[in-house]
Amino acid sequence: MILALYISCILSVPDTSFVRVPAGEYWVGQKGHAVNPARKVRLSTYEIGVTEVTNRQFAAFIKATGYQTDAERRHDALVFEPGLREFRWKEDSTATWRYPNGIRNGGIEQKMDHPVTTISYRDIHAYCEWAGVRLPSFDEWEVASRAGARTTFFWGEDAKRIGTYANIWHGRDHLQSDTSDGFMYTAPVGSFPPNPWGLYDVYGNVFEFCEGHLGKADVAHARGGSWWCSAHACNFFNSVDIGRVSVYASFSNLGCRVVKK
Protein backbone atom coordinates (compact mmCIF):
# COMPACT_ATOMS: atom_id res chain seq x y z
CA MET A 1 0.00 0.00 0.00
CA ILE A 2 2.87 2.34 0.80
CA LEU A 3 4.04 2.11 -2.81
CA ALA A 4 0.60 3.20 -3.96
CA LEU A 5 0.90 6.48 -2.09
CA TYR A 6 2.31 9.59 -3.64
CA ILE A 7 2.83 13.21 -2.72
CA SER A 8 1.55 16.04 -4.86
CA CYS A 9 1.19 19.81 -4.63
CA ILE A 10 -1.62 22.20 -5.56
CA LEU A 11 -1.29 25.88 -6.33
CA SER A 12 -4.31 27.10 -4.34
CA VAL A 13 -2.67 26.23 -1.02
CA PRO A 14 0.98 27.34 -1.21
CA ASP A 15 3.52 25.04 0.41
CA THR A 16 1.00 22.29 0.98
CA SER A 17 1.84 18.75 -0.08
CA PHE A 18 -0.59 15.86 0.04
CA VAL A 19 -0.42 12.11 0.48
CA ARG A 20 -2.83 10.11 -1.65
CA VAL A 21 -4.59 7.36 0.28
CA PRO A 22 -6.05 4.75 -2.08
CA ALA A 23 -9.63 3.52 -1.88
CA GLY A 24 -10.13 0.39 0.15
CA GLU A 25 -11.15 -1.16 3.46
CA TYR A 26 -9.31 -0.08 6.62
CA TRP A 27 -9.49 -0.93 10.30
CA VAL A 28 -10.31 1.95 12.66
CA GLY A 29 -11.20 2.26 16.34
CA GLN A 30 -10.23 0.10 19.28
CA LYS A 31 -11.89 -2.89 20.89
CA GLY A 32 -13.96 -1.71 23.86
CA HIS A 33 -13.56 2.01 23.12
CA ALA A 34 -16.69 3.93 24.20
CA VAL A 35 -17.04 6.18 21.14
CA ASN A 36 -14.66 4.62 18.64
CA PRO A 37 -15.11 0.84 18.69
CA ALA A 38 -13.02 -1.40 16.43
CA ARG A 39 -14.55 -1.83 12.98
CA LYS A 40 -13.68 -1.99 9.31
CA VAL A 41 -14.61 0.98 7.08
CA ARG A 42 -14.55 1.49 3.33
CA LEU A 43 -13.11 4.77 2.04
CA SER A 44 -12.85 6.34 -1.37
CA THR A 45 -9.50 7.68 -2.52
CA TYR A 46 -8.53 10.94 -0.83
CA GLU A 47 -5.49 13.20 -0.53
CA ILE A 48 -4.58 14.54 2.91
CA GLY A 49 -2.10 17.24 3.89
CA VAL A 50 1.38 16.13 4.84
CA THR A 51 1.47 18.86 7.49
CA GLU A 52 -0.95 20.97 9.47
CA VAL A 53 -2.14 24.28 7.95
CA THR A 54 0.45 26.93 8.77
CA ASN A 55 0.29 30.56 9.81
CA ARG A 56 1.67 31.45 6.37
CA GLN A 57 -1.18 29.70 4.62
CA PHE A 58 -3.81 31.21 6.89
CA ALA A 59 -2.27 34.66 6.46
CA ALA A 60 -2.64 34.31 2.69
CA PHE A 61 -6.32 33.55 3.22
CA ILE A 62 -6.81 36.59 5.45
CA LYS A 63 -4.96 38.85 3.02
CA ALA A 64 -7.06 37.66 0.09
CA THR A 65 -10.45 37.81 1.81
CA GLY A 66 -10.25 40.19 4.77
CA TYR A 67 -11.94 37.51 6.84
CA GLN A 68 -12.30 38.19 10.57
CA THR A 69 -11.96 35.19 12.84
CA ASP A 70 -14.28 34.40 15.74
CA ALA A 71 -11.54 35.26 18.27
CA GLU A 72 -11.10 38.68 16.62
CA ARG A 73 -14.85 39.34 16.80
CA ARG A 74 -15.68 37.76 20.15
CA HIS A 75 -12.45 38.43 22.10
CA ASP A 76 -12.86 35.19 23.97
CA ALA A 77 -9.91 33.02 22.93
CA LEU A 78 -8.59 30.61 25.53
CA VAL A 79 -4.85 30.61 26.06
CA PHE A 80 -2.33 28.91 28.28
CA GLU A 81 0.71 30.07 30.19
CA PRO A 82 2.81 28.15 32.74
CA GLY A 83 1.39 28.37 36.23
CA LEU A 84 -2.08 27.20 35.35
CA ARG A 85 -3.12 23.87 36.74
CA GLU A 86 -4.05 20.86 34.65
CA PHE A 87 -6.96 21.46 32.30
CA ARG A 88 -7.04 25.19 33.15
CA TRP A 89 -7.10 27.78 30.38
CA LYS A 90 -7.43 31.54 30.57
CA GLU A 91 -9.67 33.76 28.46
CA ASP A 92 -7.60 36.48 26.80
CA SER A 93 -9.31 39.23 24.80
CA THR A 94 -6.04 40.00 22.97
CA ALA A 95 -5.45 36.47 21.70
CA THR A 96 -6.08 35.77 18.02
CA TRP A 97 -4.40 33.67 15.34
CA ARG A 98 -1.86 36.54 15.05
CA TYR A 99 -1.16 36.38 18.82
CA PRO A 100 -2.00 32.79 19.79
CA ASN A 101 -1.20 33.23 23.49
CA GLY A 102 -2.09 36.89 23.82
CA ILE A 103 -0.27 40.03 22.70
CA ARG A 104 2.08 40.05 25.70
CA ASN A 105 3.50 36.69 24.60
CA GLY A 106 4.34 37.90 21.12
CA GLY A 107 3.07 37.37 17.61
CA ILE A 108 3.70 34.96 14.77
CA GLU A 109 6.14 37.05 12.74
CA GLN A 110 8.90 34.49 13.30
CA LYS A 111 6.50 31.54 13.32
CA MET A 112 5.00 31.55 9.85
CA ASP A 113 5.85 27.86 9.42
CA HIS A 114 4.10 26.92 12.68
CA PRO A 115 0.54 25.57 12.59
CA VAL A 116 -2.18 28.20 12.72
CA THR A 117 -4.12 28.12 16.02
CA THR A 118 -6.70 30.16 17.91
CA ILE A 119 -9.19 29.54 15.15
CA SER A 120 -12.70 28.16 15.49
CA TYR A 121 -14.51 25.47 13.56
CA ARG A 122 -16.29 28.25 11.63
CA ASP A 123 -12.98 29.90 10.80
CA ILE A 124 -11.41 26.79 9.38
CA HIS A 125 -14.48 26.15 7.26
CA ALA A 126 -14.08 29.61 5.74
CA TYR A 127 -10.42 28.87 5.07
CA CYS A 128 -11.28 25.55 3.43
CA GLU A 129 -13.84 27.14 1.13
CA TRP A 130 -11.29 29.69 -0.04
CA ALA A 131 -8.46 27.16 -0.44
CA GLY A 132 -10.53 24.52 -2.25
CA VAL A 133 -10.01 21.91 0.44
CA ARG A 134 -12.03 20.35 3.26
CA LEU A 135 -11.57 18.85 6.68
CA PRO A 136 -10.96 15.10 6.89
CA SER A 137 -13.67 12.85 8.28
CA PHE A 138 -12.98 10.95 11.50
CA ASP A 139 -12.17 7.82 9.52
CA GLU A 140 -10.01 9.58 6.93
CA TRP A 141 -7.93 11.24 9.64
CA GLU A 142 -7.54 8.00 11.57
CA VAL A 143 -6.56 5.87 8.58
CA ALA A 144 -3.94 8.42 7.55
CA SER A 145 -2.54 8.67 11.08
CA ARG A 146 -2.30 4.89 11.47
CA ALA A 147 -0.41 4.46 8.19
CA GLY A 148 -1.51 0.85 7.89
CA ALA A 149 -1.21 -0.08 11.58
CA ARG A 150 -4.04 -1.40 13.77
CA THR A 151 -2.40 -0.32 17.02
CA THR A 152 -2.99 2.73 19.23
CA PHE A 153 0.01 4.46 17.68
CA PHE A 154 1.35 3.98 14.18
CA TRP A 155 4.47 2.42 15.71
CA GLY A 156 2.65 0.03 18.05
CA GLU A 157 1.51 0.29 21.69
CA ASP A 158 4.54 1.79 23.47
CA ALA A 159 3.29 5.21 24.64
CA LYS A 160 6.78 6.19 25.81
CA ARG A 161 7.87 6.69 22.19
CA ILE A 162 5.49 9.65 21.76
CA GLY A 163 8.29 12.15 22.37
CA THR A 164 10.14 10.89 19.31
CA TYR A 165 7.29 11.73 16.96
CA ALA A 166 5.25 14.53 18.50
CA ASN A 167 5.48 17.95 20.10
CA ILE A 168 3.71 17.40 23.42
CA TRP A 169 4.09 18.62 27.03
CA HIS A 170 6.72 16.58 28.88
CA GLY A 171 6.65 18.38 32.23
CA ARG A 172 5.19 16.71 35.31
CA ASP A 173 2.39 19.28 35.32
CA HIS A 174 1.58 22.67 33.79
CA LEU A 175 2.66 24.76 36.79
CA GLN A 176 6.15 25.24 35.36
CA SER A 177 7.43 25.85 31.85
CA ASP A 178 8.56 22.85 29.86
CA THR A 179 10.87 23.19 26.87
CA SER A 180 12.54 19.81 27.27
CA ASP A 181 11.75 18.86 23.67
CA GLY A 182 12.90 22.23 22.35
CA PHE A 183 9.49 23.88 22.20
CA MET A 184 7.34 25.61 24.78
CA TYR A 185 4.30 26.04 22.54
CA THR A 186 3.95 25.04 18.87
CA ALA A 187 6.86 23.87 16.73
CA PRO A 188 7.47 24.46 13.02
CA VAL A 189 5.48 21.83 11.13
CA GLY A 190 7.61 18.82 10.26
CA SER A 191 10.02 19.24 13.17
CA PHE A 192 9.54 15.61 14.24
CA PRO A 193 9.83 12.43 12.12
CA PRO A 194 6.77 11.55 10.00
CA ASN A 195 4.69 8.39 10.13
CA PRO A 196 5.38 5.66 7.53
CA TRP A 197 3.07 7.36 5.02
CA GLY A 198 4.94 10.65 5.32
CA LEU A 199 2.48 12.63 7.51
CA TYR A 200 4.02 14.86 10.17
CA ASP A 201 2.71 15.82 13.61
CA VAL A 202 -0.30 13.49 13.64
CA TYR A 203 -0.07 13.10 17.44
CA GLY A 204 1.20 16.49 18.43
CA ASN A 205 1.84 20.11 17.77
CA VAL A 206 -1.88 20.93 17.59
CA PHE A 207 -5.19 19.13 17.76
CA GLU A 208 -6.72 18.84 14.30
CA PHE A 209 -10.38 19.59 13.56
CA CYS A 210 -12.24 16.80 11.80
CA GLU A 211 -15.64 16.67 10.12
CA GLY A 212 -18.37 14.75 11.89
CA HIS A 213 -20.47 14.72 15.06
CA LEU A 214 -20.77 12.42 18.04
CA GLY A 215 -23.93 13.95 19.45
CA LYS A 216 -24.65 17.67 19.80
CA ALA A 217 -24.56 19.69 16.58
CA ASP A 218 -22.84 22.67 18.28
CA VAL A 219 -19.85 20.52 19.26
CA ALA A 220 -16.89 20.11 16.95
CA HIS A 221 -14.33 17.35 17.20
CA ALA A 222 -10.60 17.19 16.87
CA ARG A 223 -8.04 14.42 16.85
CA GLY A 224 -4.37 13.79 17.49
CA GLY A 225 -2.89 15.77 20.35
CA SER A 226 -1.10 19.04 21.02
CA TRP A 227 1.92 20.78 22.53
CA TRP A 228 -0.16 21.20 25.70
CA CYS A 229 -1.13 17.53 26.09
CA SER A 230 0.77 15.39 28.58
CA ALA A 231 0.48 11.95 30.12
CA HIS A 232 -1.50 13.60 32.96
CA ALA A 233 -3.72 15.91 30.91
CA CYS A 234 -5.50 15.63 27.60
CA ASN A 235 -3.53 12.55 26.62
CA PHE A 236 -5.38 12.04 23.35
CA PHE A 237 -2.13 11.91 21.37
CA ASN A 238 -2.95 8.69 19.53
CA SER A 239 -4.96 7.32 16.60
CA VAL A 240 -8.00 6.30 18.63
CA ASP A 241 -9.38 9.03 20.89
CA ILE A 242 -11.65 11.82 19.67
CA GLY A 243 -11.74 15.21 21.41
CA ARG A 244 -14.66 17.64 21.55
CA VAL A 245 -14.91 21.42 21.70
CA SER A 246 -17.54 24.10 21.12
CA VAL A 247 -17.82 25.13 17.48
CA TYR A 248 -17.27 28.74 18.63
CA ALA A 249 -14.19 28.08 20.77
CA SER A 250 -10.70 29.26 19.81
CA PHE A 251 -7.80 27.55 21.59
CA SER A 252 -4.07 28.08 21.14
CA ASN A 253 -3.51 24.33 20.77
CA LEU A 254 -6.16 23.68 18.13
CA GLY A 255 -5.60 23.81 14.34
CA CYS A 256 -6.22 21.57 11.37
CA ARG A 257 -4.99 19.43 8.53
CA VAL A 258 -6.94 19.45 5.27
CA VAL A 259 -7.97 17.13 2.46
CA LYS A 260 -8.23 18.00 -1.23
CA LYS A 261 -11.76 18.36 -2.58
Contact of 135 with 144, CB cutoff 8 Å: no
The pLDDT tens digits for 187-220 are 999 999 999 999 999 999 999 999 998 988 889 9
Contact of 21 with 143, CB cutoff 8 Å: yes
Give the Cα separation of 183 and 101 in Å (integer): 14
The pLDDT tens digits for 154-175 are 999 999 999 999 999 999 999 9
Nearest alpha carbon to residue 207 among 252, 173, 240: 252
Residue count (the chain):
261
| Crossing angle between the packed helical segments 55-65 and 121-131, to the nearest 10 degrees | 80
How many Cβ atoms from other residues are within 10 Å of residue 106's Cβ? 12
The pLDDT tens digits for 33-84 are 999 999 999 999 999 999 999 999 999 999 999 999 999 999 999 999 999 9
